[in-house]
Amino acid sequence: MTGGYPRGTGAASPAGTGAASPTAAHVVVDDLAEPQLSSEDGHHLKSVLRLRPGEPVGATDGRGGYRRCAWGGGGRLEPAGEVVVTPARRPVLTVGLVPVKGDRPDWAVQKLTELGVDRIVIVASERAVVRWAGERLASHLVRLQRVARAAVMQSRQLWIPSIVAAASVADELGDPVAGAARALADPGGHPLAPGIDTLLVGPEGGWSDAERAAAGPRRVGLGSSVLRAETAAVAAGVLLTSVRAGLVGAVRARPGPGAPGGSAPDVAGVAGAGS
| 191-225 as b/e: b if 16+ CB within 10 A | bbbeebbbbbbbbbeebeeebbebbeebbbbbeee
Length of the chain: 275
- Whole-number pLDDT of residue 131: 82
Domain with CATH 2.40.240.20 in the chain: 25-85
Please spell the DSSP secondary structure of 251-263, one letter per residue: EEEEESSSSGGGE
Taking 3-state DSSP, the helix, strand and coil percentages for the chain, each rounded to the nearest 5, stand at: 25, 25, 45
Whole-model pTM: value is 0.82
Q: Output the furthest CA–CA distance in the chain (Å, rounded).
A: 68
Average pLDDT per block of 10 residues along the chain, 275 residues long: 45 54 90 93 91 94 95 88 92 92 93 97 86 86 95 94 90 65 90 92 89 87 90 96 87 49 38 33
- Pick the closest to residue 112 from 257, 5, 229, 250 (CA basis): 229
Span 25-85: which CATH code?
A: 2.40.240.20
- Whole-number pLDDT of residue 257: 42
In this structure, are strands 76-79 and 65-73 parallel, antiparallel, or unpaired?
antiparallel
Burial class of 168 by CB neighbour count within 10 A (0 to 12, 13 to 18, 19+): middle
> What is 94-267's CATH number, 3.40.50.970, 3.40.1280.10, 3.40.630.10, 3.20.20.80?
3.40.1280.10
- Whole-number pLDDT of residue 188: 87
The CA distance from 215 to 196, in Å, is 13
Which residues make beta-bridge pairs with 59?
27, 67
The CA distance from 93 to 250, in Å, is 14
Alpha-carbon dihedral angle through residues 87, 244, 226, 186, given to the nearest 10 degrees: 90
- Pick the closest to residue 47 from 84, 3, 9 (CA basis): 3
The CA distance from 113 to 120, in Å, is 9
In which element (H, E) is residue 170 found? helix 169-173
The CA distance from 242 to 224, in Å, is 19
- Whole-number pLDDT of residue 260: 42
Q: Is 104 helix (H, G, I), strand (E, B) or coil?
A: helix
